[in-house]
């Protein structure tokens, strides 16, 4: 996970669900959280946190999607709403957020 802004990153540490911070929930689900930036969604250098260096699948809230946008030209990037991405992060597969509410 790469928060787009420092405000969003702070919200992960302060907003709670069932007594747990959002950051704790995502970390317990196996997420890695990077520093706030747009580097991963722009492809960045190969050592950029979150960059797709292999042809894997990714779900993202970015606003553009074309081959190589997030790194590897054969990576599959699925664009979705923040709620869908959050629900998918919790389940490990693209998920309907209504199932997580």
pLDDT level of residue 24 (50, 70, 90 thresholds): very high
Q: Would 43 be classed as within a structural domain?
A: yes
Q: Would 1 be classed as within a structural domain?
A: no
Q: Would 46 be classed as within a structural domain?
A: yes
Give percent of the chain with pLDDT exceeding 90. Answer: 61
The pTM of this model reads 0.74
pLDDT level of residue 89 (50, 70, 90 thresholds): confident
Domain range for 49 is 6-99
pLDDT value of residue 12: 96
Q: Residue 24's Cα: distance from chain center in Å?
A: 15
Burial 8-42 (b: 16+ CB within 10 A, else e): ebeebeeeeeeeeebbebbeeeeeebeebbebbbe
State pLDDT tens for residues 42-75.
Answer: 788 889 888 999 999 999 998 888 899 999 999 9
User: Which CATH number is 77's domain given?
Assistant: 3.30.499.10
d(CA 71, CA 29): 24
d(CA 2, CA 92): 17
């Amino acid at each position: 996970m790469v928060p787009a802004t420092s405000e969003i990153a702070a919200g992960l540490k302060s907003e709670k669900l069932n007594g747990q911070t959002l950051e704790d929930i995502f970390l317990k689900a196996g997420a890695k959280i990077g520093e706030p930036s747009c580097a991963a969604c722009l492809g960045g250098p190969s050592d950029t946190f979150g960059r797709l260096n292999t042809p894997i699948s990714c779900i993202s809230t970015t606003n553009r999607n074309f081959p190589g946008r997030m790194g590897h030209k054969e990576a599959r990037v699925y664009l979705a709403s923040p709620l869908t991405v959050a629900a998918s992060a919790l389940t490990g597969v693209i998920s309907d957020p209504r199932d997580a509410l």
